[in-house]
Amino acid sequence: MENENLADSKSGSPDSFSLPVFTCVTLFIAVWVTYSQYLIFTVVPNEVTMGAVQRIFYFHVGSAFATYAATACLLVGSLGFLTLKSKNFDALQLAAAEVGLLFCSIVLLTGMIWAQSAWNIAFSFKEPRLVSTLVLWLLFVALVVLRKFAARSDAASFCAVFGVLGAILVPVVVYSVKFLSPVGQLHPVVVEHDGLREASFRVAFWVTNGALVAMALLFIWLRKKIASLEEKNL
């Protein structure tokens, strides 16, 4: 056994390679996120109508993009596991589900804070994007609960099926604002209607989106590593 470990270390195992890469990537993303906060709180001016509360928009939309990125990873892991029954793909779908739940929770929380300020109501079941996002969040919760309570032999397959359903739900969330006329819904369509007219708004928007997506992918990478190590120690 010791000889096998020695051979792995000499040949350069993935873990020995990952540590310096992980450190560099983490530092880069930390700087990226810090710069996005600098833009949001010191460069971007208060929005004319909503004032300072509009700054939550950058966290809200960026977290939505991060949720979609996690769902894409979930789809890859789910299809990979259903096709190949690989533990690596299972670890990926596990990591993506947990990170997706984190960022989808942020989307709902920031959305309710923003909605309370803008519409005087935190949540409305008549609003298609709010309801579809809630359904996506519940699906992430179901994935996490299945991992905890389903039989180990069945959990991965069940989660893979739910993962595919979650990926199918994302286009519904994205295009749900088109289900009703602008008069019949509360959720604004900011970017498509050129709501970010100032250059500083646009820069902060895209920098923050990229930073939060990169953070989500980093969390997925780290959680997948942990899941793989947990599997080896069983």
Instruction: Note the pLDDT tens digit of each residue in 11-50.
Output: 344 444 577 888 899 999 999 999 999 999 999 888 767 7
How many Å separate Cα 13 from the centre of its chain? Answer: 29
Q: Which residues of 177-199 are buried (b: 16+ CB within 10 A; e: fewer)?
A: beeeeeeebbbbeeeeeeebeee
207 vs 176, residue with greater confidence: 207
Tell me how far apart the alpha carbons of residues 61 and 58 are, in angstroms, rounded to a whole number.
Answer: 6
Residue 45 CB: number of other CB atoms within 10 A? 10
Tell me how far apart the alpha carbons of residues 97 and 155 are, in angstroms, rounded to a whole number.
Answer: 13
Instruction: Note the pLDDT tens digit of each residue in 69-86.
Output: 999 999 999 999 999 999
Q: Where are the alpha helices (DSSP H) in 85-198?
A: 87-119, 128-149, 152-175
Instruction: Note the pLDDT tens digit of each residue in 147-196.
Output: 888 877 788 999 999 999 999 999 998 887 776 555 555 666 554 445 55
Among residues 26, 107, 123, the alpha carbon closest in space to that of 67 is found at: 107
pLDDT at 187: 62
**Phi, psi at 79, each rounded to 5°:** -65, -40
> CA gyration radius for the chain?
20
Instruction: Note the pLDDT tens digit of each residue in 101-139.
Output: 999 999 999 988 888 877 788 887 878 888 899 999 999
Residue recorded with tokens 């890859």: 76
140, 100 contact by CB (below 8 A): yes
